[in-house]
Amino acid sequence: MNLISPSQPTTPNVLKDIRKLTEGEIKVALEGSGEKPFRAKQIYEWLWQKSAQSFDEMTNLSKDFRTWLKENFWLRPITIATEQRSNDGTIKVAFRLYDNHLVEGVLIPTEDRMTACISSQVGCSLTCKFCATGYMDRIRNLDAGEIYDQVVFINRIAQANYQQHLSNIVYMGMGEPMLNYANVLQSVEHLTSESGLNMSPKRITVSTAGVAKMIKKLGDDNVKFNLALSLHAANDEKRNQIMPINESNSLEALREALKYYFQKTKNKVTYEYIVFHKFNDTLKDAEELHQFTKHLPAKVNVIEYNPIAEANFMNTDEQTLNKFCSYLDKKGVNVHLRRSRGKDIDAACGQLAIKDRK
């Protein structure tokens, strides 16, 4: 690591993003500043416990030291570009990143919980046919700080609008979390550790479209948060049609990976299943879903589809939806019907996409 002393000239290409350093790395970097090593702990607390958005907020550090920090490090939090409020109280936020890209996050308030839905990538590479994000290009991964910031800002919005803190976090926004594995896990660490926001990992759910080898890695890393699989069809032919990732991560491969994950973590798996009109809404489809999910302790969230302009899928009718859920319930499946929230502002499941990229 190149140490920068206060007397050395600085240019943008030698600045480091301070939020990409560990506390130990910050301590090493401070050796050239003339400050005591314990300042590293104070800085780290400002970054991850107090969620400082600038060095000027670090008021227990001297002004000269804060100036030195600004001359030698980046601190680049996200900012809020726009907010939209749904008729049902859901709030969608477009976040602007340091390089001017945008991602979206959503606050979903219900009677018993306050949930933040956050993004892990700018765009997505998986091209799921029913998802608006899938029609965007994947620009880049979000770093851990950018993911963390979404939670901080959405929590502030929850407090301002509902006088409540967040109770739950779901990585179900833009992007595939398992294709940004290191940053996602690091962000969870900042959210859950005592040196961070100290949230319970059991209040966090990370969703994947199904990257089998990374699901196994979650097991090897013995993660404590919850895992959700976006399933949406329980036979390979249908799943291939709507989720191209299934061609390289078949249902059999996913079943094996999930079994391995459960053996390692003992965490119950959640299956997400969007019901499309005359595609995956028959009782035969329900039985296939039952057969796929019965091998592990699990719950199934049956989700109303939220139409998007890019696709021709439609939500199934209420009677068919009720029959589908009733069949699963009679088979002993732990099934929950999730109603759409925020459809009128394109904030519901599968609708997140940056329409105005300016």
Catalytic annotation, pick one of 45, 57, 104, 310: 104
Give the C-alpha separation, 75 to 91, whole Å: 27
**Residue 207 CB contacts under 8 Å (≥ 6 apart), including other chains:** 170, 171, 172, 177, 227, 228, 229, 230, 272
**Residue 205 CB contacts under 8 Å (≥ 6 apart), including other chains:** 168, 169, 170, 171, 172, 225, 226, 227, 228, 270
Catalytic annotation, pick one of 124, 128, 325, 349: 349
Amino acid at 112: D
Are the C-beta atoms of 86 and 145 separated by less than 8 Å? no
Residue 159 parent element (H or E): helix 144-162
- 303 C-beta neighbours (distance < 10 Å), count: 21
Give the C-alpha separation, 53 to 198, whole Å: 19
Are the C-beta atoms of 170 and 199 separated by less than 8 Å? no
- 262 C-beta neighbours (distance < 10 Å), count: 18
Closest CA to 169 of 196, 195, 132, 129: 196
Q: Is 349 among the residues known to form the active site?
A: yes
Amino acid at 176: E
Q: Is 124 among the residues known to form the active site?
A: no
Tell me if residue 148 falls in helix, strand or coil. helix
Interstrand relation of 269-275 and 73-74 (parallel, antiparallel or unpaired): unpaired
Are the C-beta atoms of 309 and 338 separated by less than 8 Å? no
Are the C-beta atoms of 357 and 312 separated by less than 8 Å? no
Query: Exposure string (b/e) for 3-15, b if CB count within 10 Å is 16 or more?
Result: ebeeeeeeeeeeb
The count of residues in the chain is 358
Give the C-alpha separation, 300 to 253, whole Å: 19
Among all residues, which ones are annotated catalytic?
104, 349
